[in-house]
Amino acid sequence: MARSPKPEEPAVERAEGDDAPNAVWFKPVMVGFMLLGLVWILVYYISGQQFPVPGIGAWNLAIGLGIALIGFLMTTRWR
């Protein structure tokens, strides 16, 4: 029994880089930002609110959360 050829699918034009995989460094940097933010906050609490930057007080929390947020925002671009 002869097979009939499958109809070819229409070509879909895609912008350059639409489904391209991320660079090798992307995932380690993403996880690194999340962990660095966590470590920053933990150091702040464990040190009795003296480190990592003693002069800015509770702004250390904002810095740690900001660093971690960068990592979480990078997850939206991860493929």
What pTM was computed for the model?
A: 0.73
End-to-end CA distance of the chain: 43
pLDDT tens profile 3-49: 776 777 666 565 665 678 999 999 999 999 999 999 999 999 999 98
Tell me if 74 sits within 8 A of 27, measured CB to CB: no
d(CA 34, CA 67): 7
53-67: per-residue pLDDT in tens? 999 999 999 999 999
